[in-house]
Amino acid sequence: MLKKRILAVAAVAAMAIGTFAGTYFSGTHAEAGSTYNHNHGKVKNVIFLIPDGFSASYATNYRWFKGKESQMDEILVGMHRTYSADSEVTDSAAAGTAMATGVKTNNGMISTSPDGKELKTILETVEEKGKSTGLVATSTITHATPAVFASHVASRADEASIAPQLLENGVDVILGGGKKYFPDSLIANAKKDGYRYISSRDELKGAAKSNKLIGLFADDALAPSLDRDETKEPTLAEMTDTAINVLKKDKDGFFLMVEGSQIDWAGHDHDAAWAMNDIAAFEEALAKALAFAKKDGHTLVVVAGDHDTGGMSVGGYGVYDANVEILRNVTATGDYMVTKLDASRSNVKAVVKEYTGLDLTDAEIKTVQTASKPDMAINEIVSERARVGWTSTVHTGVDVPLYAFGPGSDLFHGLHENTDLPVLMAKAMKIKFDGK
């Protein structure tokens, strides 16, 4: 009798878990779920958002940092594998190429196969179908991830060759950093081709009236979100909103890629506060995409980091605890704090106190004063206080969460190769695409 009761309880529990899992992973979890997200309806537009360097550890720490579930949590559908053609650990060029072309390549290569063949991208394919296209990033717009969607070079370092290709490939909206890669002659030719050129946040506010738009807001990358107030640069959400408003005028639809570029850079620097704040900025951009998708009814939103950076952990340093809320008080990146140190670094304690609220010990002060990379030293002290661990200063090869919302989101359920993503986007739009 007892055995039968145990089996009955187990059966009920299994049914409950199955019901929950089916609800959660079908994209109906929390507020994001709606009849619309049951994958009915034609996919006219795709918005592909890439939080560079973002993995499950970043997602978990961000949830603690925010104090509640993120909008990413609400649309989780699966995971994807990130290795490149020549390594278990990818770089952004190879990962981006896989997500843009559906083909694995070697680290460092931009939409080019290991044997040097140019690979057709999902952006180029939808352009051939008459759709408008856009690229938005907080890095230089010629950096690896945005570059893979509309250029082909053997080395990601060749940003000067990438810039003209973005225009030659007819990308309708280009927003980010990288003025230094767009000489006056290139901008002049773009204007002749109908592009409006802007270079400040104020100009962006009225730019949605344009049909073709280039916005370059810094010579190099834009400032981290923590340091953005020191500039006249727009936020990722503002650029995303403008891009959507320009592209949505096309009756045939559009493809837009939005990258939160500097989550990755924060990971390389072990700057947990920078990472959390740039994830917050990315989530604001995602909110713009989801709001449009819910209203439009024919837009698929896909979110996928390209790889993990830094091997971040939740908790660490020999203690069963995490104090991520400490990061809420940090108001500048480690990079910025270093610019406030005097020549002898005698003011370390005061500077760190001003921008983090933390009182450094004598040993911690000495560590920063003698470090070859004082920014990294500050970041690791802050991380230790927050119990955010790090295992690497480069990328790692772990699987990365995959999120999707809207018609076609069911295609992304489960564990995928990163090469599956553009193929599935094309399938959702009923466009033939194999990337070769």
| 417 annotated to a ligand binding site | no
Do residues 49 and 78 lie in contact, with contact meaning Cβ atoms separated by under 8 Å? Answer: no
| 38 annotated to a ligand binding site | no
| 259 annotated to a ligand binding site | yes
**Residue given tokens 């790889």 in the structure block:** 307
Query: What are the tokens at 38?
Result: 């049951």
Please write down the HEC assignment for all residues of the chain: CHHHHHHHHHHHHHHHHHHHHHHHHHHHCHHHCCHHHHCCCCCCEEEEEEECCCCHHHHHHHHHHHCCCCCCHHHEEEEEECCCCCCCCCCHHHHHHHHHHCCCCCCCCECECCCCCECCCHHHHHHHCCCEEEEEEEEECCCHHHHCCCCCECCCCCHHHHHHHHHHCCCCEEEEECHHHCCHHHHHHHHHCCCEEECCHHHHHCHHHCCCEEEECCCCCCCCHHHHHHCCCCCHHHHHHHHHHHHCCCCCCEEEEEEECHHHHHHHCCCHHHHHHHHHHHHHHHHHHHHHHHHHCCEEEEEECCCEECCCCCEECCECCCCHHHHHHCCCCHHHHHHCCCCCCCCHHHHHHHHHCCCCCHHHHHHHHHCCCHHHHHHHHHHHHHCECCCCCCEECCCEEEEEECCCHHHHCEEEECCHHHHHHHHHCCCCCCCC
> Exposure of 324 by Cβ count < 10 A (0-12 exposed, 13-18 middle, 19+ buried)?
buried
d(CA 165, CA 274) in angstroms, rounded, equals: 32
409 classed as catalytic: no
CA 23 to chain centroid, in Å, comes to 26
Nearest to 355 by CA among 267, 265, 273: 273
- 303 φ/ψ angles, rounded to the nearest 5 degrees: -125, 125
Query: What are the tokens at 47?
Result: 């918005």
| 308 annotated to a ligand binding site | no
| 143 annotated to a ligand binding site | yes
| 298 annotated to a ligand binding site | no
| 52 annotated to a ligand binding site | yes
| 101 annotated to a ligand binding site | no
| 391 annotated to a ligand binding site | no
Do residues 390 and 380 lie in contact, with contact meaning Cβ atoms separated by under 8 Å? Answer: yes
> Which of the residues 55, 70, 92, 225 is marked catalytic?
92
Q: Binding site membership: which residues?
A: 52, 143, 145, 259, 264, 268, 306-307, 395
Q: Binding site membership for Zn(2+): which residues?
A: 52, 264, 268, 306-307, 395
Q: Binding site membership for Mg(2+): which residues?
A: 52, 143, 145, 259
Active site residues: 92
